[in-house]
């Protein structure tokens, strides 16, 4: 017998424990009969401004993924979203393919990762030349840029906000996101991408598509879109960006 609320599909999300943006953003994207269920990778709120601290932060996220997956799989989700954006890009294309396979083996279900989901969304729009906004420090930005280049995209411009700690990513206000996207845009850009799942982006990106006249992909919208479509949920969702409304 199907769940009373998740009678069409149950989808699990694994996010960092400091993340306060994924849950409200993706809950607004749920079609009827679909439920989202979060588990948290335990990490510390700490300064990330040194290279050593940043690398320790990345390792802590990787170390905690297994336990978080075990936790969320107890509710029986039929698909899993890895909502740790930086980890999805870390180490390049082959490393992310390896991680995706490891997570699927661990979970026993299909897994959506932000890197591959964003690439698929860009291909849906036929976009090759992109501008990217991240909350990361320079080491993280380099990983994101290298991954996209390896996947066949040209990163025309990239801006890293250098957020000083995990929780402070969520404190970046929509006005700063809006100004950053405007600064990144240009006639040489076919689509804009916002990564960092704790960075507010879905509604700002949807607005941006109207005044920039091109796709603006917020990673939480892309994660939800990819998970839904991979799970056989084809509902078009209006008001939260073209990827959900058109593809």
Q: What is the band of 44 on the pLDDT scale with cuts at 50, 70, 90? A: confident
Residue 224 host element (H or E): helix 219-230
* Fold topology of 117-219: Rossmann fold (3.40.50)
Confidence of residue 85 (pLDDT cuts 50, 70, 90): confident
Query: Which residues fall within 8 angstroms of residue 57, CB to CB, at 6 or more apart?
Result: 43, 44, 46, 48, 166
SS3 category, 10: strand
Residues 71-75: what's their mean pLDDT? 97
In the structure, what pLDDT confidence band is assigned to residue 234 with cuts at 50, 70 and 90?
very high
CA distance 247 to 243: 5
Query: From CA 170, how far away is CA 34, in angstroms rounded?
Result: 26
Q: Buried b vs exposed e over 155-185: b needs ≥16 C-beta within 10 Å?
A: bbbbebbebebbbbbbebeeeebeebbeebb
**Which pair of tokens denotes residue 87?**
């980890």
Do 9-113 and 117-219 agree at the fold level?
A: yes
Contacts of 187 (CB under 8 A, 6+ apart): none
The verdict on domain 9-113 having CATH code 2.60.450.10 is no
- Amino acid 63: pLDDT: 85
CA-to-CA dists, residue 12 to 24, 32, 35, 223, angstroms: 14, 16, 8, 11
Distance CA(188)–CA(217), nearest Å, equals: 17
The predicted model scores a pTM of 0.96
Inter-residue contact 99 to 34 (CB < 8 Å): no
pLDDT at residue number 43: 86
pLDDT range class, residue 215, cuts 50, 70, 90: very high
Give residue limits of the domains in the chain: 9-113, 117-219
As a whole number of angstroms, the distance between CA 83 and CA 197 comes to 7
């Amino acid at each position: 017998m199907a769940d009373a609320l998740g009678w069409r599909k149950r989808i699990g999300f694994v996010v960092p424990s400091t993340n306060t943006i994924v849950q409200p953003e993706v809950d607004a994207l749920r079609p009827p009969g679909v439920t989202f269920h979060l588990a948290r990778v335990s990490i510390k709120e700490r300064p990330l401004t040194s290279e050593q601290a940043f690398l320790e932060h990345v390792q802590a996220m990787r170390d905690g993924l297994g336990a978080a997956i075990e936790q969320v799989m107890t509710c029986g989700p039929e698909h899993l979203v890895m909502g740790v954006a930086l980890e999805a890009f870390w180490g390049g294309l082959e490393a992310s393919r390896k991680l995706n396979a490891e997570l699927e083996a661990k979970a026993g279900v299909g897994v959506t990762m932000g890197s591959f989901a964003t690439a698929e969304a860009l291909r849906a729009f036929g976009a090759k030349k992109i501008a990217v906004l991240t909350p990361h420090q320079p080491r993280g930005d380099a990983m994101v840029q290298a991954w996209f280049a390896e996947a066949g995209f040209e990163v025309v411009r990239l801006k890293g906000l250098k957020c000083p700690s995990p929780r402070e990513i969520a404190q970046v206000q929509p006005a700063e996101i809006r100004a950053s996207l405007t600064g990144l845009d240009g006639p040489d850009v076919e689509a804009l991408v916002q990564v960092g799942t704790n960075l507010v982006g879905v509604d700002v990106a949807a607005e941006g598509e109207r005044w920039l006249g091109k796709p603006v992909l917020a990673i939480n919208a892309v994660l939800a879109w990819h998970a839904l479509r991979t799970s056989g949920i084809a509902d078009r969702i209006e008001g939260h960006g073209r990827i959900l409304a058109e593809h």
